[in-house]
Amino acid sequence: MPSKKALVRRPGPRLAEGLVTHIEREKVDVDLALEQWEAYVEALRTHGWETIEVDPADDFPDSVFVEDTVVMYKNVSLITRPGAQSRQDETMGVEEAVARLGCSVNWIWEPGTLDGGDVLKIGDTIYVGRGGRTNAAGVQQLRAAFEPLGAQVVAVPVSKVLHLKSAVTALPDGTVIGHIPKVDRPSLFPRFLSVPEESGAHVVLLGEGKLLMSASAPKTADLLADLGHEPVLVDISEFEKLEGCVTCLSVRLRELYA
């Protein structure tokens, strides 16, 4: 049986100080962000996910984006080494959380850097974005961790957005979706579907054809519904101001051994 556990981490009081690289800084409403985060977590629970809250890291404005701190493949965890130095100590509570779940723990070591938001898994293919936050040594270490377990790691360039998963994610059938102006090389993906909105490129697979998506992508939601998927919309406007999306706010653990 696949597992349905998701690591989440509540936003801290310094959220508004989070990093922005590819967009203009906007004022973040921290109280609204907390409400939106609670609704996001509730959406996961409503669709059968057990959420596990990682200890807060209030000194780290970006710590709510828990996906960047760990990559999971089967029941093996790879603790990342975020490409932004100010984020590197965010991994500490996450390491404890995955160890408690019985995962084996591996690490990205200096000089490697890797953000979890750069890693898109489709079956046993792991796409890794080589961009501003993930370097070549990080890609090599990801390969070394997961290829012996049966993964095929494919590195792809990322220059127009923060992370690979800021540009593309995948539908349940493995089709990669993205907003063309933000995707470096759509031709690298065997099946690619262009979507009309940048935030429409981000989906979390909830199971049973349901897709967790941002409410800021109504045209994409209509397109995907027309293709037989079932969008579940959440408002994450405050996180989008910090280049966050629905994937960044949780780490889904689908293949833990019972």
Establish how many alpha carbons lie within 13 A of residue 212's alpha carbon, considering only the half-sphere containing its beta carbon: 25
Distance separating alpha carbons of residues 198 and 181, to the nearest angstrom: 8
Which listed residue (103, 163, 179, 229) is catalytic? 163
Return the closest-CA partner of residue 79 out of 138, 140, 152, 149. 138
- Chain centre distance of CA 169: 9
Respond yes or no: is residue 22 known to be catalytic: no
Distance separating alpha carbons of residues 119 and 149, to the nearest angstrom: 16
Which listed residue (103, 179, 202, 248) is catalytic? 248
Output the six-digit token pair for 54.
Answer: 């990682």
Respond yes or no: is residue 103 known to be catalytic: no
Residues annotated as part of the active site:
163, 248
